[in-house]
Amino acid sequence: MELNYFLNDENDTVTFGILLSKVVKPNTTIFLEGSLGVGKTTLTRGFVQELGYEGIVKSPTFTLVEEYTFKDFVVYHFDLYRLIDPEELEFMGVRDYFKPNSIRLIEWPSKGKGYIPEHDIRIYLEYVSVSRKITITSYSQQGDEELKALEPIVPTSFKLV
């Protein structure tokens, strides 16, 4: 299943993260792809804050992963942009992050190829003039279910004309 939308600005990107947080369940892996500065961390900020996190949501560019703990689950936000060798993930115990009670949002997943499990959802953000186009594709039954739940709650203003 694939969905396509336009996001006009940073507020739309945050809103999209909020909507996504309402349908994504634990044990989901989401790959976040697109060029630098296109809004991957902004989307993650909306996602995590809507779940109840009140602190600053920052890009884990230098730490590789940020952890956000909630009552029944954990959200891990990875940014693999600065990863030199994917084997570094093995040394940091990356498999420990892929537990059934966690949601994994991974920026620059291609840098971890072979060391991170497959994804349920891929989100690709790209610039189109001054807006962003977001393409969301599911790659598992769980991803299909989550996107089917997402589609009816996305505002019509985001839909492609």
The CATH number for 33's domain is 3.40.50.300
Q: Rounded mean pLDDT of 137-159?
A: 94
Contacts of 21 (CB under 8 A, 6+ apart): 46, 47, 48, 50, 51
Task: Tell me: pLDDT of 161 over 70.
Answer: no
Res. 130 pLDDT band, cuts 50 70 90: confident
Q: What is the 3-state secondary structure (H, E, C) of the chain?
A: CEEEEEECCHHHHHHHHHHHHCCCCCCEEEEEECCCCCCHHHHHHHHHHHCCCCCCCCCCCCCCEEEEECCCCEEEEEECCCCCCCHHHHHCCHHHHCCCCEEEEEECHHHHCCCCCCCCEEEEEEEECCEEEEEEEECCHHHHHHHHHHHHHCCHHHECC
- Best CA proximity match to 30, nearest among 119, 99, 116: 119
Is there a domain that residue 161 lies in? no
Q: Rounded mean pLDDT of 44-52?
A: 94
Is there a domain that residue 76 lies in? yes
Is there a domain that residue 42 lies in? yes
Q: Which pLDDT value is given to residue 124?
A: 96
Q: Which pLDDT value is given to residue 61?
A: 66
Task: Tell me: pLDDT of 121 over 90.
Answer: yes
Task: Tell me: pLDDT of 3 over 70.
Answer: yes
Task: Tell me: pLDDT of 50 over 70.
Answer: yes
The larger pLDDT score, comparing residue 35 to residue 140, is at 140
For 21-35, 64-78, 88-102, 138-152, which range has the lowest pLDDT when averaged over its residues?
Answer: 88-102
The larger pLDDT score, comparing residue 57 to residue 34, is at 34
From residue 105, give the alpha-carbon distance in Å to each of 5, 42, 75, 98, 130. 19, 12, 8, 11, 25
Mean pLDDT of the chain: 90
Domain that holds residue 151: 2-156
Residues of the chain with pLDDT > 90, as a percent, come to 61
Q: Rounded mean pLDDT of 6-25?
A: 95
The structural domain count of the chain equals 1
Q: Which pLDDT value is given to residue 57?
A: 83
Res. 128 pLDDT band, cuts 50 70 90: confident
Is there a domain that residue 35 lies in? yes
Is there a domain that residue 33 lies in? yes
Q: Report whether 98 contacts 89 (CB < 8 A).
A: no
Task: Tell me: pLDDT of 29 over 90.
Answer: yes
Tokens, residue 148: 């089917």
